[in-house]
Structures are given as structure tokens and as C-alpha cells.
Amino acid sequence: MSHHPEPGAPRAKSDSYRLLFAIQRYFEFGGLQRDMLRIANACTSRGHDVHVVTGDWDGPPPESLTVHTIGFGGRTNHARCAGFGQAVGQFVTQDEFDCVVGFTRMPNLDVCWCGDPCLAARFGDDKPSWLRYFPRYRTYLDIEGSVFGPTSDAELLLLTEGEQQRVTQHYAPPRARMHLLPAGIDRTRFAPGPHTDNARQAITTELKLDPEATIVLGVGSSFSTKGVDRSITAVAHLPEELRRGTELIIVGNGKPDSYRKLARKLGIERQVHFTGGRDDVALFYHAADLLLHPARTETAGHILVESLVCGLPVLVTANCGYAFHIERAGAGRVCPYPFVQDTLDAQLSEALDADRLESWRAQARKYRDTADLYSMVDRAVDVIVSRATSNRHTTSSERQRRAS
């Protein structure tokens, strides 16, 4: 998708590239959106000129990036996804970029951030195979194939070994195209320090909670995907004495009404608190006793590693890509797949033992000091800049031959 100028057209200086990041929608508290912004800002800090093209930018305007908002058609989600890819393609032909990076899948990318699970792998896993013939899934599979398949030469930024294996199994891209990234937690934002010393007092005061309460935390902006209903049910099913002293806090943008209704039905409405999206989510990690994340699907799950960096134990479902970090750290429990609510209920009850939580906290702190949980952004920028360098020295015909 990179557009190369006519011979003799002015170019940027040789060590600086013009980069385009494409994301269908930007909103301030989305995990994908936050990753995109961190990587884009890291590119600008290396001296590159970064532009973002999007259908909607909902958040503060970035100081170091140029944002282009474009219109595109489509009445359904899958049609809008296809329409956005087409609109980006048209946008690129009108300007000059050394590398186009997609945080939404679309054809002809130079680099693709693989933050969504491989859809082809989900058929026969947790989706019946006949669904692939519906227009929605046919469209998504066609778009996915345009990124992973043989007609693409995009560099693939993959977040977990499991996802790399699934993409390899279904599309077999050359290994040189696949780049497995470590986690990329922002130390300055999540590591303990003076700004987190009084986190528990600040949160319990703000939410008017008993300072001695056991705080179970959920984080995420898609309440259904993150399993908020599962979390509410598990808290409601705790043994009576334990349940009375437990508060569930959900941090993230979403529509809480149906979940409040569920909590009311289960008799714990006053113990479930929705804060909305928060820029100070680190305070909640440092204030809580356990992160509960029974997600239905999660390619990676940065919040799991953010929790470990904050010394917070985790109870997570096995189908989250970063669940292996919890096992390696010995800092929590992984709920097996396929999901069974009774299993989660029992695991939560066991997890809230004070001695067990203290042991897991120590393991989390040890893991954050020994594992590479921080260099994702730098590694991603290295791949993007390397591809921009290659593009600048490769003709269109050579790139087409390389893709074939």
C-alpha cells in the first residue's frame, strides 16, 4: 500500500521516514488504540513523520502526530471494515508514505498489528464451520486472507506464540514475515512509586468502600468480551461470609445497565461498581487484591501483564493469549477452556485466601523484575522502520514479484 513518488519528486531526508498508521476507530481507553498511540509516538521520537488515518478520533488531539479523518461506507460492521480498507487505499494513492501500518486488517499493508485472534482458527474451535458461509464471516475471512495469505508480503507483528502457531497452521506465511513481540508495559505508568503509595486509600475513599474490604478488579472496555457477567456471577456465588466482604470494581468504557441488572438479580448490586474509562487505572491495580479476567476471547491481554507489574495476582481464562505469564509467574490461577462457571466460582473462592494472595503478590513482583515485559514498542518500531527502509529502496515491480 506504500505509495512511491515519481522520479525526481522531493523525498524526506534519508534517515527519516513518512509513516501512515491506519485504525478504523480511535477512542481514548481502548487497549488496541493505546498500543497504536505508543508505537506511533515512539516512531516520532526517533525522528519520523507519523500520520494516522481513521474513521473516528475520540480523544485528545495528539501533539506529535497528524490525524486524518476519512469517511467510508457500509451499513454493517463487516461492510464498514471492508469500506475502511478501501478508503485507506484511496487515501494512500493521494500522498507519499514509506510504510503503511495497519491496526485494522486490510489488503496491501506493509506491516500489520495482529491484535485480533485468527478467525480461520476459530472455526472448528469455538465457532461452527457453517458460519463461514455467512456474508459477515466471508468478508472477515477474505480480509484476513489478504493480510496473512500468499498475495501479501506484510510484516506480521504477533503478540503470542499461540497466535503465531494458529496463523502458521492456517496460512503458512514465510517465517521471515512473522515477528513475535514481547509484552510492552509502560514502566513509568504501572511500576510502583510515590504516585501509588496511597492507592488503596484513594480508591476506597472515592468509592466509599470499607478499607478492609477484599477488592476484586475487572478491567476492559467490552464488557461481554471481557466476561463481566461471569465475574459478577462468581462473586455472587462466593461463600456467604467471604461474599459480604468482597467488592467488585469494573474499570472501562461499556454499557453497564444489563450488568447492574444481573448484579441486582443475584443480590450483590451494592458490591459491584462501574467507574467508566480511567486514565489512572494503575491506581486500581495497586489498590486491588485480585484481577479477575474471565474473558471469552483475548489475543493477548495486556492488562494481565500490567497487573503483574503492579504486583497484583490474577485469575484468568485459559483462552487469553497472555495467560501463560500468570502460570510462569506462579502469581494466580488459569481457568481451563472450555469455560465452566462452577470452576471459576471455586477458583475465585480459593484465590481470595489471604495467605495465598500474599504469596502470589511476591511471585508477581519477582516476575516483573526478571522477565521481559517491556520492550514490545521498541521491537515494533524496529520492524516498521526496517520495512520503510526496504520500501524506499524497492521498486513497485520488485515488491509485486516478492509478494508472489
Domain identity same for 171 and 192: no
The confidence score (pLDDT) of residue 302 equals 95
The confidence score (pLDDT) of residue 399 equals 52
Domain identity same for 118 and 205: no
- Is there a cis peptide before residue 192, judged by omega within 30 degrees of 0? no
Domain identity same for 72 and 114: yes
CB 182 within 8 A of CB 375: yes
How much of the chain exceeds pLDDT 90, in percent?
87
Asked if residue 13 belongs to a domain, the reply is no
Q: What is the pLDDT of residues 68-84, one digit of tens each?
A: 999 999 999 999 999 99
The confidence score (pLDDT) of residue 194 equals 87
Rounded Cα distance, 198 and 196, in Å: 6
Range in 51-55, 108-112, 115-119 the model is least confident about:
115-119
Domain identity same for 233 and 313: yes
Domain identity same for 390 and 341: no
Domain identity same for 346 and 382: no
Asked if residue 4 belongs to a domain, the reply is no
352 DSSP assignment:
T
Q: What is the pLDDT of residues 166-195, one digit of tens each?
A: 999 999 999 999 999 999 999 889 988 888
How much of the chain exceeds pLDDT 70, in percent?
94
Mean pLDDT of 88-106: 97
Domain CATH for 80 = 3.40.50.2000
The confidence score (pLDDT) of residue 44 equals 98
Asked if residue 156 belongs to a domain, the reply is yes
The confidence score (pLDDT) of residue 6 equals 36
Count of domains for the chain:
2
**Can you tell me whether residue 125 is helix, strand or coil?**
coil
Higher pLDDT, 12 or 247: 247
Mean pLDDT of the chain: 93
Asked if residue 2 belongs to a domain, the reply is no
Confidence of residue 59 (pLDDT cuts 50, 70, 90): very high
- Cα 278 to Cα 218, 325, 381, distances in angstroms: 12, 25, 27
Asked if residue 141 belongs to a domain, the reply is yes
Domain identity same for 137 and 271: no
Mean pLDDT of 135-147: 96
The confidence score (pLDDT) of residue 398 equals 59
The confidence score (pLDDT) of residue 8 equals 35
Q: What is the pLDDT of residues 324-383, one digit of tens each?
A: 999 999 999 999 999 999 999 999 999 999 999 999 999 999 999 999 999 999 999 999
Domain identity same for 234 and 250: yes
175 DSSP assignment:
G
Domain identity same for 236 and 124: no
Mean pLDDT of 308-319: 97
Q: Which residue has the cell 488504540?
A: 33
Helices (H), 46-134: 77-93, 119-122
* Domain, as residue range, for 83: 18-182+375-403
Confidence of residue 403 (pLDDT cuts 50, 70, 90): very low
The confidence score (pLDDT) of residue 143 equals 98
Helix (H) or strand (E) holding 67: strand 66-69
Find, among 337, 292, 265, the residue nearest to 117 by Cα.
337
Domain identity same for 122 and 236: no
